Amino acid sequence: MKFFLGCSNCFSSETIATSRPAGEQKHGNLLIFSRDELRVATQDFSSSNKIGEGGFGSVYKGRLQDGSFVAVKVLSVEIESMRGEREFISELAALSDVKHENLVTLQGCCVDGASRYLVYEYLENNSLSQTLLGKEQNRTKFSWEARRDISVGVARAIAHLHEEVRPRILHRDIKASNILLDQNFKPKVSDFGLSRMLRDDTSHVSTRVAGTLGYLAPEYAVSGHLSRKADVYGFGVLLLEIISGRSAVDFDLEHGEHYLVQKAWEFYNANNLVQIVDPVLNRNFPEAEAARFLKVGLLCVQENVKHRPHMSKVVGMLNNEIDIRDVRISEPGLLSDLTDIRLRQRNSTQSTSSRGSTSTSVPTSTYF
């Protein structure tokens, strides 16, 4: 982070506007593109080339002059300027030097006045939220083997960020829309705009609460203390989605909102966990392996943070290198409403006041 914060001049318009061809300049491992080159590549950011949209802007498919395809993320200029700047710096810091087969490759960037652009490798099969969690005909494309490989690949990527990279990286927004798939359905974890660095001598960082309802770890939502176990929780929800084909939060007119974590817990208590496996598989899957994956998902979302495994152990469990047949699974944590955050914060503040002690107040602003 310090490197990028201290190098704002390296990404100035003056640096980009040189006589060398656009896209051939480099800053470290990153290519520096001009805005004109990205406009041409995306056909002036045509709506027909739009392939995604998030809280900080839109993503467009583009074709560079050399014929290669890229995904261009345009950070919104309408958002609060510092939030946009933090996202830009976070993505650069997180991805410029971190390489893993299950992490999306950041190829370059562009700064033009107040505008910020990030250029990624283009992945043909879009995100899990638009494919696996889409219509039934989409889900039929994902065999049990494909779901297994996607689950293990994502787990390996997060384990790499948590335990092999220094400083450690907390993604903070593990969810289906941030898992991209290449032409062979290999998963790539993307979107590091909310990521934070974790130094070796710290267990957590305190930050404004951010994430997506359904994937948000309850303890983080309440305290603002972000640890690796918050990413573990998000992965647990994602794993349940991959195996079941259901979204983290569903809504129907008759029954209202349904939370996948709670539904999986109910099946587990009924000793019928494999019933939640996606029906489009027509029971064409190994039941013991499916049950193991679902149990790992429930282990990752347990309410007691200490009971959630680290991601390297998650990989071992998924690969059946760690036996979990006799592991006791306790009740999962579930944040079903943003009101829960405010109520818990208010109760915590009142409890602290009644004891006459002082403590740092937890953040009250939440954005998703």
Among all residues, which ones are annotated catalytic?
Answer: 173
Sequence-ordered strand ranges (E) for the chain: 25-27, 30-32, 50-54, 57-63, 69-75, 106-112, 115-121, 168-170, 179-181, 187-189, 196-198, 205-206, 209-210, 225-226, 249-252, 256-259, 366-367
Tokens representing 18 are 């040189």
CB 177 within 8 A of CB 215: no
A 10 A CB-CB count for 164 gives 13
Q: Which residues have CB under 8 Å from 197's CB, separation 6+? A: 1, 93, 167, 168, 169, 170, 205
For tokens 């999962």, name the residue: 332
- Find residue 53's DSSP bridge partners: 58
Q: Which residues have CB under 8 Å from 159's CB, separation 6+? A: 310, 311, 312, 314, 315
**Distance, CA of 279 to CA of 244 (rounded, Å):** 8
Q: Is residue 229 annotated as involved in ligand binding?
A: no
CB 324 within 8 A of CB 299: yes
The DSSP-derived string for 111-170 is: EETTEEEEEEE--TT-BGGGTTTS-HHHHTT--HHHHHHHHHHHHHHHHIIIIISSSEEE
Q: Which residues are annotated as a binding site?
A: 73
Q: Which residues are annotated as a binding site for ATP?
A: 73
